[in-house]
Amino acid sequence: MKSNINIKVKNKENNLRIDVLLSNQSNKLSRSRVKVLILENNLKINNIIVTDPSRKVKLDDEIFFEVVEPKKERLTPFNYPLEIIHEDEDLIVLNKSAGISMHPGPGNYDNTIVNALINYTGNNLSNIGNELRPGIVHRIDKETSGLIVIAKNNVSHENLSNQFSEHSITRVYQALVWGKIRPQNGKIETFITRSSKNRQMMEVSLNKGKKAITNYKTLEIFENDDVPTLSLIECKLETGRTHQIRVHLSNKGNNILGDKKYKKKFKKFININPELEKCLVSLDRQFLHAKTLGFNHPKNNHWLEFSSKLPDDLEKILKKLRKIKQ
């Protein structure tokens, strides 16, 4: 079913964001749902399609907004062992393994976290936004492990989405990078946009795209005659752009170990410890782990914070490096 919203902007609405204006027009439309519909080309301002939810309206603008009901997609349940850290009637906190995608997409519509959640909950998940992403408030990359929060209803989804938008959620990652990062502790603040050379990649820009902020600190440096220089660092996100940590560290020249997409060519190692070399070469994903996740509970507003240990494949590399370092 479809319905339409037609508005001529009044004085009191002048300079409002279009997603705010439209969500104020209906008790049934959340701001998150409005954003999705705008991105799907359902908005016209002065008879021109607009796909920017943050666009500010002007006095006498004529707004036409088509409200399309979410499609009922049949998602296939996937029998996959989810590591649940916390669950209540409003949300689930998962510790995601590397190697599994968050949601269905081209080439993989069945073996994802969403399909596993459908199997586990019986589709007791929020349905705001894309019909192939029920419950998904935020994402981490397929080859990244660590903590994610899932919404079980629309009220929780909206609340958590707003916390992400307001950058009030705590997100801390650990990464092992090539070389020594300079300075050892600092803040990376840039714009990130889609790469002009490869649409599946992102890149740092001077003024295009979205602002991205990563705070980092060096935890440990590994360096001697038998070890190529590597640094264990902690990254705390202020924003959450696509591939943000990977792009920021690559731009500084400190690519994440095992990152095949944002990789850098290094000289062949000479006299490297053979056991360590075998360990490094065998890593089949990036050394990036979402270690800490903290947020206010959407119902009672109590602060919740969760931590996750490094998985065995990453911890094995650190143990080997520390042993050689001694």
> What residues are labeled active site?
141
Q: Which residue has the tokens 């603008």?
A: 61
> Backbone dihedral region of 77: left (phi > 0), alpha (psi from -120 to 50 degrees) or beta?
beta
Asked whether the bond before 183 is cis by omega within 30 degrees of 0, the reply is yes
Q: Tell me the CA end-to-end span of the chain in Å, nearest whole number.
A: 67
From the list 64, 67, 13, the residue with the least C-alpha distance to 37 is 67
Distance CA 209, CA 228 (A): 35
From the list 18, 276, 286, 262, the residue with the least C-alpha distance to 140 is 286
**Residues in Cβ contact with 268 at an 8 Å cutoff, skipping those fewer than 6 apart:** none
The one-letter amino acid at 293: L
Which residues does residue 95 pair with via DSSP β-bridges, in sequence order? Answer: 147
Burial 246-271 (b: 16+ CB within 10 A, else e): bbbbbebebbbbbbebbeeeeeeeee
Q: How many Å separate Cα 126 from the centre of its chain?
A: 18
Report yes or no: 82 and 65 within 8 Å, Cβ to Cβ. Answer: no
Helix (H, G, I), strand (E, B) or coil at 123: coil
Strands 288-296 and 145-151: parallel
CA distances from 269 to 108, 225, 292 (A): 37, 10, 34
Report yes or no: 38 and 51 within 8 Å, Cβ to Cβ. Answer: yes
